[in-house]
Amino acid sequence: MKEERAATHGDLDKAAPAASDARTVLLVEDDPDHEELIRRALHDRDASVDLRVTRHGEEALDYLLRRGVWADAARSPRPRLVLMDLRLPRLDGFHVLGAIKSAPRLRCIPVVVLTTSQSEPDVAQAYAAHANSYLVKPADFTQLTDLLDGVARYWLRLNRQPVTPGPS
């Protein structure tokens, strides 16, 4: 079993309070093929999306909390949206989701689970951890492009979010 390092509540409360960049999306995806398909699908419809990628759950929290290599805010702009797979190395998507939604300065960032799992227990667990949406990755690229177009349209253009993060 891979070693997992959970963020402490102290780390979560210290997350930088910068406002989100209206076009930044954090993709948490360990499969490079899925990453490339998602990147192409998003950019085919909207080249202005600034897609940032982390490969495992621990790195996603480091990015969001601006720790280690992600300490520089210019390198880790606050995302307007997190797209996250569930089956991640080091720290799975459920743990990452729980950490994000329990952190006052991060909880207002929408997290859309984007996974191949159609398991009802996974859906229930994701929503219990306060996922904003649960989407199953279609196998067909055109369907994936259509799905991500709808995600981007809603979460990046139509949905209003607070200008500042939640309370400290």
Residue 43 lies in a domain: yes
d(CA 167, CA 142): 40
Which structural domain range is residue 140 located in? 20-158
Is residue 165 in a domain? no
Give me 151's structure tokens. 């995600």
Report strand pairing: 81-84 vs 24-28: parallel
How many separate helices (H) and strands (E) can be counted in the chain? 6, 5
Whether the per-residue pLDDT at 18 is higher than 50: the answer is: no
What is the pLDDT confidence band of residue 161, given thresholds at 50, 70 and 90? confident
Tell me the pTM.
0.85
Report the CATH number that the domain containing residue 96 is assigned in CATH.
Answer: 3.40.50.2300
Identify whether 163 is part of a domain.
no
> What average pLDDT score do residues 39-46 get?
88
pLDDT tens, position by position, 79-112: 999 999 999 999 999 999 999 999 999 999 999 9
Task: State how many domains the chain has.
Answer: 1
